[in-house]
């Protein structure tokens, strides 16, 4: 490879257009290719003599993982190759800006922090589903992109420290020091555990804390000893920095920052659910805290940290992955006792087999396609509350603790649309709904459940009550 790269040069069929970034780890160029257009990014690690071997291995990791990743929350892989000694990787250039510049504007309004956190958690859920833990989540690796549909989403970038559960971990074999970015690294990562998706939740918690308060929860330690301080010293509660931060958000952020991964949200999807439904967050002592824990609590944290063994954490991480978000869709307008019973029975079995599972009880309040927004008038509000009470009543005998169940009344002119959108936006793992009997109208319109099953993008169970005749009275 030529010693100096210049615009107009060709590398593996790509034309170098413009250098974007001369980072510590890699050189980035905007490139074009006749077959792939011009919104492309070429990444080249520095391989000159004296460069750290970790940069090269990090690049190898990214080169191995990126082609395997798919979906809206990662940049699309285009090609990779070697030009002499110089390896290169080309990916789609995603428009938008990382969250890094936002740190300079912090503290950011709590509502915006929560919204950004939810987008990032959804992106992480998608990554974790593909068996990859990012392990270097921080504002500069979260790219905020506005899609063609006008919706914002987070695209995760830089997979140089990532780990795929079914592939060799090139980094673990080579380095025996903690790998990550000091302010964000999770305690278990400091111990060398590289397989727990909840490490990404910790790092996201640090990010949200920083955005909401303009402070780093664990400072910027420069030594191994400094890194370990997070094992026993809990962060200053966000509300003591910024009083306007609501309790629920403090609860959620501090839960992300728990030393013990088991005390955090079990999955990124569950964190996203909390960030999107503040009214449903169960508040604990974390929400009320206004100062750091005293010496006793510190001793407790320290004690717990002593018991952290990498092997045990890995085993528990596997268990946490079985913490599905279950959604049950209920039709409260046309009650059907037999179907209710069958639904409850199915839900009961599911939540019993997965102790980490959370249940979202959802119903749709049909609104007129055109006309007044019924939600703003008193009658609409009344109907909304009645449905909410109906949901709670249906779930009463399940006897689930508050932190395992949430209730949602959606308002939409189209029931199927509303359920599909909800399942997708909340990364629901398993959707359960009742099948209605077939009547003339339904035969004409097509069934809601058939559409939801086809389009919700998750596992779906349609429950039918025994004794079909009883269920045929619905419109």
Asked if the peptide bond before residue 403 counts as cis, ω within 30 degrees of 0, the response is no
Determine, following the binding rule CB under 8 A, whether residue 177 of this chain makes contact with another protein.
Answer: no
Establish if 174 lies at the interface with another protein (CB under 8 A): yes
Determine if 341 is a binding residue for another protein (CB under 8 A). Answer: no
Per rule CB under 8 A, is residue 56 in the interface with another protein?
yes
Q: Is 41 in the site for another protein (CB under 8 A)?
A: no
Single out the residue of 30, 41, 58, 63 in contact with another protein (rule: CB under 8 A).
63
CA distances from 366 to 159, 333, 373, 380, 422 (A): 44, 10, 11, 11, 15
Among residues 17, 20, 25, 167, the one that binds another protein under rule CB under 8 A: 167
Element (H, E) at 20: strand 14-22
State the DSSP string of 384-397: HHHHHHHHHHHHGG
Q: Which residues pair with 27 in a beta bridge?
A: 22, 44
- Could you tell me which stretch among 27-35, 61-69, 296-304, 379-387 binds another protein (CB under 8 A)? 61-69
Alpha-carbon Rg for the chain in angstroms:
25
What token pair was written down for 118? 């939810």
Number of residues that bind another protein (CB under 8 A): 16
| 57 scored as a contact of another protein (CB under 8 A) | yes
Give the pair of three-digit tokens for residue 456.
Answer: 């919700």
Of the candidates 21, 28, 55, the residue with the CA atom closest to the CA atom of residue 160: 55
Q: Is 1 in the site for another protein (CB under 8 A)?
A: no
User: Shortest approach of another protein to residue 171 CB, angstroms?
Assistant: 10
Q: Does 2 bind another protein (CB under 8 A)?
A: no
Cα–Cα distances in Å, from 227 out to 180, 196, 264?
Answer: 11, 18, 19
Q: How far apart are CA 428 and CA 443, in angstroms?
A: 28
φ/ψ (deg, to 5) at 228: -80, -10
Give the nearest distance from C-beta 80 to another protein in angstroms: 9
DSSP string computed for 82-99: EETTEEEEEEE---SEES
Regarding 51 and contact with another protein (CB under 8 A), the answer is no
Question: Residue 372 — φ and ψ, nearest 5°?
Answer: -70, 145
- From the list 22, 149, 173, 279, which residue makes contact with another protein (rule: CB under 8 A)? 173
Q: Is 82 in the site for another protein (CB under 8 A)?
A: yes
Please list every residue from 402 through 461 that binds another protein, using CB under 8 A. none
Asked if 166 interacts with another protein (CB under 8 A), we say: yes
Rounded-to-integer distance, Cα 421 and Cα 432, Å: 15
By the rule CB under 8 A, 60 interacts with another protein? yes
The nearest distance, CB 207 to another protein, in angstroms, is: 30
In this chain, which stretch among 8-16, 56-64, 210-218, 462-470 interacts with another protein, using CB under 8 A?
Answer: 56-64
| Structure token digits, residue 474 | 């619905």
Phi, psi (degrees; rounded to nearest 5) at 363: -135, 155
| Among the listed residues 75, 87, 160, 217, the single contact to another protein using CB under 8 A | 87
Of 153-161, 163-171, 189-197, 272-280, which part binds another protein (CB under 8 A)?
A: 163-171
The region of 8-16, 165-173, 259-267, 364-372 touching another protein under the rule CB under 8 A is 165-173
Q: What are residue 179's phi and psi, to 5 degrees?
A: -115, 125
**Cα-to-chain-centroid distance, residue 331:** 29
> Is residue 64 close enough to count as binding another protein by CB under 8 A?
yes
Give residues in contact with another protein (CB under 8 A). 53, 56-57, 60, 63-64, 67-68, 82, 87, 166-168, 170, 173-174
């Amino acid at each position: 490879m030529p010693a100096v790269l210049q615009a107009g040069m060709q590398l593996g069929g790509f034309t170098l257009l413009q250098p974007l970034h001369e980072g510590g780890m890699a050189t980035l160029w905007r490139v074009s290719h006749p077959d792939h257009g011009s919104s492309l990014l070429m990444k080249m690690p520095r391989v000159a003599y004296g460069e750290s071997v970790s940069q090269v291995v990090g690049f190898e990791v990214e080169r191995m993982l990126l082609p395997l990743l798919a979906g809206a929350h990662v940049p699309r892989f285009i090609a990779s190759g070697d030009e002499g000694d110089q390896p290169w990787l080309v990916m789609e250039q995603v428009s938008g800006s990382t969250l890094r510049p936002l740190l300079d504007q912090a503290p950011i309004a709590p509502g915006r922090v929560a919204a950004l956190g939810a987008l990032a958690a959804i992106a992480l859920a998608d990554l974790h589903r593909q068996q990859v833990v990012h392990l270097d989540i921080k504002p500069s690796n979260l790219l905020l992109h506005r899609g063609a549909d006008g919706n914002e989403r987070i695209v995760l970038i830089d997979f140089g420290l990532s780990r795929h559960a079914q592939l060799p971990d090139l980094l673990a074999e080579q380095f025996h020091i903690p790998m990550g970015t000091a302010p964000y690294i999770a305690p278990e990562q400091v111990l060398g555990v590289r397989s727990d998706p909840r490490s990404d939740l910790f790092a996201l918690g640090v990010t949200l804390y920083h955005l909401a308060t303009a402070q780093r929860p664990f400072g910027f330690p420069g030594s191994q000893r400094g890194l370990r301080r997070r094992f026993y010293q809990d962060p200053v509660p966000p509300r003591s920095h910024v009083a306007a931060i609501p309790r629920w958000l403090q609860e959620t952020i501090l839960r992300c920052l728990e030393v013990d991964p088991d005390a955090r949200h079990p999955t990124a999807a569950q964190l996203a659910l909390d960030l999107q439904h503040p009214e449903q967050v169960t508040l604990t002592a974390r929400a009320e805290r206004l100062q750091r824990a005293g010496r006793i609590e510190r001793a407790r944290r320290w004690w717990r940290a002593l018991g952290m063994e990498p092997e045990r954490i890995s085993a528990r991480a596997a268990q946490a992955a079985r913490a599905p978000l279950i959604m049950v869709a209920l039709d409260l307008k046309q009650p059907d006792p037999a179907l209710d019973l069958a639904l409850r029975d199915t839900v009961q079995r599911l939540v019993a087999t997965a102790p980490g599972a959370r249940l979202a009880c959802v119903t749709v309040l049909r609104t007129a396609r055109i006309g007044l927004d019924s939600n703003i008038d008193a009658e609409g509000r009344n109907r909304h509350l009645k449905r909410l009470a109906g949901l709670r009543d249906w779930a009463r005998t399940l006897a689930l603790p508050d932190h395992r169940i949430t209730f949602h009344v959606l308002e939409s002119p189209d029931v199927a649309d509303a359920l599909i959108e909800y399942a997708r936006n909340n990364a629901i793992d398993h959707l359960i709904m009742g099948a209605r009997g077939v009547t003339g109208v339904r035969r004409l319109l097509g069934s809601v459940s058939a559409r939801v099953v086809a389009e919700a993008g998750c596992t779906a169970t349609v429950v039918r009550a025994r004794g079909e005749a009883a269920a045929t009275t619905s419109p």
